[in-house]
């Protein structure tokens, strides 16, 4: 049998502890799977004394995580700390400089520094693997690098954040307000005490930047991902979507347009109830790939949590133990196109949409309930060549004729820029009491 693979784990939170438990309690399984023993030699965590439900006898504890990078008895460092900078970045950098392989679940790190780190690993003949960085237990990175490697990818679409998907699906099925469901998600552990990273779309943007790099051969370009979260979605929005035969989900989309330019965005969008992505409920993730010759394929599964994420980390451990090695982004880092390439157009977050894209839109306005308001609004739409498909005033105000009421509009297919310009003009009307809320209606398959 070949030499033992010696592992160091930095971070024993929910995921790190589960990875350690699996490697210790199921050691025979990993030996059978990989043909060599896999052994944890050292760990680092904030609390050395915390009870974790399994024995780590014989495993060294390092108070300083950075010390793991230079230990002579370590072959691979598992970075499960998180964050784009600080200890996580310093540890990965130190490990690669010291000739250690690295496995990480850190999407923020890769979205910001993945290109440089991948180049460093490849120049040193080391593995930098990150299956767990996107979509938890769904093997989307392996699919892009291996199963779909023979395809020309044209589009990747996904529900990439379990927290947002849980909130939106509960709002849909239980007819509750955003703030109420968010509070419940925090109690259940689906959302952090400060949920901004999730509900503002940043977490999903990190993941989409990685998928874009792998699918289209570009260096990760987080700044090129247009991002909008779900804070402004109301129960009324969800009910109005249902009246249109739709629901609302936070969707990540990256695609190559006819000109070769690539666009990437995270946004809430109305999905027809009969579509596959509309049926993804709770904390599940789903990712769809379109390309040639495959056509389209969708994968669904748990996107977060101890078991799902640990499963992805352990898959990378087995690959390394077996000697399976491939570049982080599927192709050598030196061949990745830069964001300012003429062929990628990923150097800035705007325009987010392919130039020729036409979409239907849902527009919610809060206006004074008085004569002439709808005429002013429709005049603005006509001035921007926007055709209205439907218009609805769901309810009248309780405080009299001059009270505030919602107005719901849907448009026929139009360029997103025209809708943005029209709603900006509407916001200047004296009768419009709040910024218009706009959701695209899904144009995909």
CA-to-CA distance for 221 and 284, rounded, in angstroms?
26
Residue 282's Cβ-side half-sphere holds a number of Cα atoms within 13 Å equal to 9
207 is an active site residue: yes
What residues form DSSP beta bridges with 438?
Answer: 363
CA dihedral 46, 51, 57, 59 (to 10 degrees): -20
CA-to-CA distance for 238 and 169, rounded, in angstroms?
10
How far does Cα 227 stand from its chain's mean position?
A: 11
Can the peptide bond before residue 351 be classed as cis, meaning omega within 30 degrees of 0? yes
- For the chain, the first-to-last Cα distance in angstroms comes to 50
Residue 403's Cβ-side half-sphere holds a number of Cα atoms within 13 Å equal to 9
DSSP symbols for 322-361: HT----TTSS-GGGSBPTT-TTT--SSS-S-S-TT--BEE
Contact 300, 285 (CB under 8 A): yes
- What single-letter DSSP state applies at residue 414? B
Of these residues, 142, 145, 207, 360, which one is catalytic? 207
DSSP symbols for 167-234: HHHHHHHH---HHHHHHHHHHHTSS-SS-HHHHTTHHHHHHHHHHHHHHHTB---GGGEEE--STT--
Task: Write out the catalytic residue numbers.
Answer: 207
């Amino acid at each position: 049998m070949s030499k033992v693979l010696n592992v160091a784990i930095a971070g024993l939170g929910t995921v790190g502890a589960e990875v350690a438990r699996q490697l210790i309690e199921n050691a025979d399984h990993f030996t059978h799977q990989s043909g060599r023993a896999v052994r944890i030699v050292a760990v680092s965590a904030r609390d050395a004394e915390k009870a974790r439900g399994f024995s780590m006898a014989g495993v060294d504890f390092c108070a300083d995580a950075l010390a793991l990078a230079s230990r002579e008895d370590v072959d691979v460092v598992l970075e499960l700390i998180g964050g784009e900078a600080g200890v996580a970045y310093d540890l990965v950098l130190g490990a690669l400089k010291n000739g250690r392989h690295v496995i990480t679940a850190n999407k923020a790190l890769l979205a910001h520094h993945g290109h440089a780190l991948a180049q460093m690993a490849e120049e040193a003949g080391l593995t930098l693997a990150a299956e767990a960085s996107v979509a938890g237990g769904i093997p989307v990175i392996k699919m892009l690098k291996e199963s779909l490697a023979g395809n020309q990818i044209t589009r990747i679409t996904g529900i990439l954040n379990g927290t947002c998907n849980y909130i939106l699906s509960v709002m849909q099925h239980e007819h509750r307000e955003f703030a109420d469901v968010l509070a419940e998600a925090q109690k259940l552990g689906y959302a952090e005490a400060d949920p901004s990273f999730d509900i503002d779309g940043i977490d999903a943007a990190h993941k989409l930047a990685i998928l874009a790099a792998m699918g289209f051969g570009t260096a990760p370009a987080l700044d090129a991902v247009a991002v909008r979260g779900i804070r402004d979605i109301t129960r009324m929005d969800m009910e109005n979507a249902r009246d249109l035969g739709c629901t609302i989900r936070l969707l990540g989309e990256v695609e190559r347009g006819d000109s070769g330019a690539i666009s990437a965005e995270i946004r809430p969008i109305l999905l027809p109830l009969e579509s596959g992505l509309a049926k993804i409920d709770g904390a599940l993730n789903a990712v769809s790939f379109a390309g040639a010759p495959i056509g389209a394929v969708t994968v669904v599964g748990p996107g977060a949590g101890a078991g799902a994420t640990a499963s992805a980390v352990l898959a990378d451990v087995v690959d390394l133990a077996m000697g399976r090695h491939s570049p982080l982004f599927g192709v050598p880092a030196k061949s990745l196109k830069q964001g300012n390439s003429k062929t990628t157009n990923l150097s800035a977050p705007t325009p987010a949409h392919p130039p020729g894209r036409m979409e239907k839109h849902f527009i919610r306005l809060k206006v004074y309930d008085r004569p002439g308001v709808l005429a002013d609004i429709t005049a603005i739409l006509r001035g921007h060549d926007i055709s209205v498909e439907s218009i609805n005033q769901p309810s009248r105000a309780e405080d009299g004729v001059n009270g505030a009421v919602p107005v719901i509009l849907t448009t026929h297919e139009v360029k997103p820029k025209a809708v943005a310009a029209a709603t900006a003009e509407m916001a200047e009307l004296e009768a419009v009491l709040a910024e218009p809320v706009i959701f695209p209606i899904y144009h995909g398959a």
